[in-house]
Amino acid sequence: MSQPFRLPAGGALDRSRELRFSFDGRDYRGHPGDTLASALLANGVRLLGRSFKYHRPRGLFSAGPEEPNALVELRSGARREPNTRATVAELYDGLAAASQHAWPSLRWDVGALNGLAAPFIPAGFYYKTFMGPTRRAWMVYEHFIRKAAGLGRAAREPDPDRYEKRHGFCDLLVVGSGPAGLAAALAAGRAGARVVLAEQDFRLGGQLLSNGERVGGKSGPDWVAAVEAELASLPNVEILTRTSAFGLYDGRVAGLVERVADHKPEPEHGEPRQRLHLLRCGEIVLAAGAIERPLVFANNDLPGVMLASAARTYARRYAARAGTRAVLFASHDAAYAELPALLEADIQVAAVIDPRPNGSASVRELARDLGIEVRSGQAVARAHGGRALVGVEAAPFEAGTGAGGRWTGPADFISCDLLCVAGGWTPTLHLHSHSQGKTVWDPRLLTFRPGENPQGHRSVGACNGSFTLSTCLAEGFAAGAAAAAACGFEASAPALPATVPEPGAEAEAEPLALFACPKPASRGGKAFVDIQDDVAVSDIGLAEREGYRSVEHLKRYTTLGMGTDQGKTANVNGLAVMAELRGLTVPEVGHTTFRPPYTPVTLGALGGREVGRAFRPVRRTPLHDWHLRNGAVMVEAGLWLRPRYYPKPGEGLFEAQNREAKHVRRAVGLSDVSTLGKIDVQGPDAAAFLDRVYCNTFSSLPVGKARYGLMLREDGIVLDDGTTTRLSETRFFMTTTTAEAAAVMAHLEFLLQAVWPELRVNVASVTDQWAGIAVAGPRSRRLLEKAVEGCPVDDAALPFMGVAEGRIAGVPVRIFRISFSGERAYEVNVAADHGPLVWEALMEAGKELEVIPYGLEALAVLRIEKGHVAGPEIDGRTTPEDLGLGRMVSKKKADFVGRRLLGREGFDDPARPRLVGLVPTDGRTKIAAGSILVGQRDLHPPIEKLGHVTSVTWSENLGKPIALAFLSGGRERLGQKLYAAYPLRNRIVEVEVTPSCFIDPEGERLRG
Amino acid sequence: MLRIPCPFCGPRDHSEFSYLGDATVTRPEAEAPLDEWFGYVYLRDNPRGRHREHWHHAQGCRQWLVVERDTLTHEILGALPAREGSPAAGPAAGKDAAE
């Protein structure tokens, strides 16, 4: 009872084992060696899906990766994968597949009503109808349209599988393992070159697995097995099956995706599901084969209409009958070679319909010997059937000059359940084109062939437009040997084995340039060019009439070739139809650009292991563990993890931040500032260099003193700020902000190497070598006095902006008297490894002084209270004057970065927004960061924008919200009442303009 | 997926480098006319074919390089240390060599 369409013998199947699988909940059986497609076919399942737009019933169309129709969902739960081509899904025991895009079921699909309305839903219908009148209409209808048109559903859970990346090298990459690819790998492999042979299928051999040809006295599959055995025995050859070369990139890099475990229920322990290979190749031989081109006629999408080569592949490789009674519709000689395979599979062939008035005598003879009627000078006018093909109308036909022709007589009905279409072959040019290879139109083959390849990649075999076995082998041998020679190996092409082609395979007569049959005499039946995207011949006509005539416009207007199959079976026919309409030839119309990937690649494979916490590196300060042990809530700051606040029981962020900020102004606190960028600047010209780097002067800085510096870009905008200390005549210790540390380092290196290489200065990043601890608050000196040995820290010995070197807990430390909070404060630097020891010693020494640790939030509160600028203010748009730091800019220095453009007119505009402070006039309403400043409460346009709010906080020390802002006119508006508007949340706050420094403007607390 | 022949480290993948831009512009003298400065800071040619560009071997030897690249084919034709490749360095470097 099972597998009614399975042949009793033959095929590359392991019949000793049965695999169980399900489709739409029904159980079936197959064998190892089957794809989901071949197993479904063997079980007589022919309806596999509903089409994208019209919900028309669809079945298998091909037997390979070009499949437009048979898209299914595989697996379930977190591993559910939509839009998988059944033709490349390998069968495994327990596989569960489902049709997609049909409701309530595949057989009874409500959406099929779209099919009845098809005449009213041409290309562009949705946009024209629903987007036309108002934007609002589209927003309402889009949801329903997206639901009606579409494909499968992605999994909603995180992907449980692992993916890997491999960076590899080889002398020669051979893409494809048909006769040409095998020959190339063999020639280069024997010469000793490191060869990678990539095959997308799980079996080597390509067309040799099913086309009945003989090589070297062996059957195709036997010859393939012998070559595979030899290649496997060569240590310099790597064979990658289940591996698609999906793209070629600059520098001879190939992207390949290896489906390591897709043929198993789930990956084994430790095994990746897929592996991305980035392969750097010396030479590349493309043996990617060709894809059969269908013929276009009314209802050509019915289940039962199939590429002729696919029916042959199912019969011979998978021992599955694609039907019981077939018609072959072929416009060229070689298609007749598919007939023996159909007969072997016990498929009755009702007729060959050949639109050529006289095909070659030899193939007509072949058909006659097989007892098959040939209807020369006829074409298929229409296919008939509901959910499956029941017959075709064939009618006398006269070819025209372009893509089509005209009917010359009444149609005749032939009953059949399989219609094999054979319009010729399209070489797979994708990888050739990825590497900027040109394409040329071959009028004999009626298709594009590879032209010159600027990177020197060699196309051989069918992808080069060579379709006879002996030529494929000869080209493969020659290219493999030449590639090996180019890599420095002594190589020669092996002797060509004797080949016996399938009768009819070597064409004699010219093929007919038929791409799309004309409309049948009576109405009815859409003729599809792109089956996956439901693009019909009539849609191309509409595109032409509406002016979307260039191929790129045609593609985007009709979606021709835009599906998951990228129009592999559709594009050439579409171009030919457009060429006919425009009265041009196909090469004059041209084709759209081929872009990677050739076949779909999962995002998982591209992401590899760089997901979740491994997405990017995490930087931790030397004090990280202490923060965690002491309850810090951490926050990401760039790559860094920093303590945000240290909550006490019952405290949230707001309470903790207020407590910490208030405590620092009252007593003393420690904060981890290890993340600041630190750069060691050394050399005889170090002072001169810093004079050119900063807008203020450093050459006048005495040894042992620190100075706040402001760095500009050449365009006069502030780049970064920080404190730099002179340690000796020739040595400075620079600090940068956490965020800009890397950029400043690269900037300094650029200046020293590319702009002023004559300066004798070296710079080295020492950010990671030092732990930094800020000790801030009125009791900070007392704390240090208790902790520091070896140097006095009183105000005489260590004044504001002074530096001292001593020891804490026996460890050498450098102490800078600098402040970000506006309180008396010090920054203790210590070798990174000793950081925790010194921090703990400071905490211990500060116990009776009530020392606390404080986090990033309190740090921000303190700096806003003090009016110190930070990232929100140094935002890549502000000048020193804008920041209220104009007085820092040296008037004396002859040159520094940014000096010249700082002097341009626009920067002197009195209307430029300048830094000010803001408080709400009611003393309590929060101001939102990002608010715009306006002069009126009424927000109806037009409205003049006066500035914007950059930093906001609640100041527990002042008991009110405060903000920093840039305001046109700046300090001239002190005392004015304005409005801070946040239209997104419909909030508006009346504010008063204040100086930007809210606490201790005279700096008495700072200097002590 | 270009490869840049770093004069210090050998051929390396471009992902180790960061790109700055045109290496044919020279920083003007401090008192040069503003127009010259605007040209240096803002104006760039976008040549088709051979071009000299600054690349930083940020994940390697930290050296700035002048890389010659064909903007049409993406072919990398060579790389020099910026010290030697920079026109600004010309006279000074020559003097050092002579000493």
* Strand B10-13, strand B3-6: pairing: antiparallel
DSSP summary character for residue A751: I
Distance from CA of A253 to the nearest CA of B (A): 7
**In this structure, what token pair is assigned to residue A819?**
């402040």
CA neighbor of A617 nearest in space, from A773, A742, A778? A742
Query: Looking at the predicted structure, is the pLDDT value of residue B95 above 60?
Result: no
Res A150: pLDDT: 59
Of B1, B27, B42, the CB nearest to A251: B1
- Distance, in Å, from the CA atom of A498 to the CA atom of A686, rounded to the nearest integer, reads 78
Res A141: pLDDT: 66
CA angle A792, A793, A799 (to 5 degrees): 120
Res A664: pLDDT: 97
Probe site for chain B from A900, A902, A905, A907 (most B CB atoms < 10 A): A900
Using the structure block, give the residue that is written with the tokens 């590196």: A617
Query: Looking at the predicted structure, is the pLDDT value of residue A138 above 70?
Result: no
Q: Which residue of A has its CA nearest to B81?
A: A753
Residues of A in contact with B37 (CB under 8 A): 900-901
Question: For chains A and B, what is the number of CB pairs under 8 angstroms?
Answer: 74
Structure confidence at residue A512 as a pLDDT band (50, 70, 90): confident
Which ipTM score applies to this complex?
0.90
- Distance, in Å, from the CA atom of A69 to the CA atom of A974, rounded to the nearest integer, reads 71
Q: What percent of chain B has pLDDT over 70?
A: 85
pLDDT digits (tens, 9 = 90+) for A516-565: 888 887 877 899 999 999 999 999 999 999 999 999 999 999 999 998 89
Res A235: pLDDT: 98
Structure confidence at residue A402 as a pLDDT band (50, 70, 90): low
CB distance from A610 to chain B under 8 Å?
A: no
CB distance from A901 to chain B under 8 Å?
A: yes
Average pLDDT over residues A282-307: 97
CA neighbor of A169 nearest in space, from B72, B7, B11, B67? B11
Structure confidence at residue A868 as a pLDDT band (50, 70, 90): very high
Res A712: pLDDT: 98
Residues within 8 A of B (CB atoms), A 413-442 only: 436
Res A52: pLDDT: 84
C-beta atoms of B41 and A715 within 8 A: yes
Distance from CA of B64 to the nearest CA of A (A): 6
Distance from CA of A717 to the nearest CA of B (A): 12
Query: Looking at the predicted structure, is the pLDDT value of residue B90 above 50?
Result: no
The SS3 of residue A200 is coil
The number of distinct structural domains making up chain B is: 1
Structure confidence at residue A244 as a pLDDT band (50, 70, 90): very high
The SS3 of residue A83 is strand
Contact between A679 and A670 under an 8 Å Cβ cutoff? The reply is no
Average pLDDT over residues A580-608: 93
pLDDT digits (tens, 9 = 90+) for A760-774: 999 999 999 999 999
CB distance from B24 to chain A under 8 Å?
A: no
Which DSSP string corresponds to A120-164? G--TTHHHHHHHSS-HHHHHHHHHHHHHHS------SSPP---EE
Query: Looking at the predicted structure, is the pLDDT value of residue B87 above 80?
Result: no
Q: What percent of chain A has pLDDT over 90?
A: 85
CATH code assigned at B38: 3.30.2270.10
Structure confidence at residue A152 as a pLDDT band (50, 70, 90): confident
Beta-carbon contacts of B80 under 8 Å, excluding residues fewer than 6 positions away, are B7, B65, B66
What is the identity of the amino acid at A887? R
The SS3 of residue A870 is coil
Res B84: pLDDT: 86
Query: Looking at the predicted structure, is the pLDDT value of residue A114 above 80?
Result: no
CB < 8 Å & 24+ apart, contacts of A600-604: A600/A83, A600/A564, A601/A244, A601/A246, A601/A255, A601/A257, A601/A276, A602/A81, A602/A163, A602/A257, A602/A274, A604/A159, A604/A161, A604/A163, A604/A273, A604/A274
Of A249, A454, A904, the CB nearest to B1: A249
For chain A, list the domains and their CATH numbers: 163-290+427-500 (3.50.50.60), 680-728+740-761+878-902 (3.30.70.1400), 903-1007 (2.40.30.110)
Residues of B in contact with A746 (CB under 8 A): 18, 56, 58
Q: What percent of chain A has pLDDT over 70?
A: 96
Res A107: pLDDT: 76
pLDDT digits (tens, 9 = 90+) for A666-678: 999 999 999 999 9
* Strand A253-258, strand A274-286: pairing: antiparallel
pLDDT digits (tens, 9 = 90+) for A444-464: 888 899 999 999 999 999 999
Of A436, A895, A904, the CB nearest to B30: A895
- Distance, in Å, from the CA atom of A120 to the CA atom of A53, rounded to the nearest integer, reads 12
Average pLDDT over residues A624-636: 98
For A419-454, b where at least 16 C-beta lie within 10 A, e where not — what string? bbbbbbbbbbbbbbbbbbbebebeeebbbbbbeebe
Res A683: pLDDT: 98
Residue B94's domain spans which residues?
Answer: 3-98
pLDDT digits (tens, 9 = 90+) for B17-30: 999 999 999 999 99
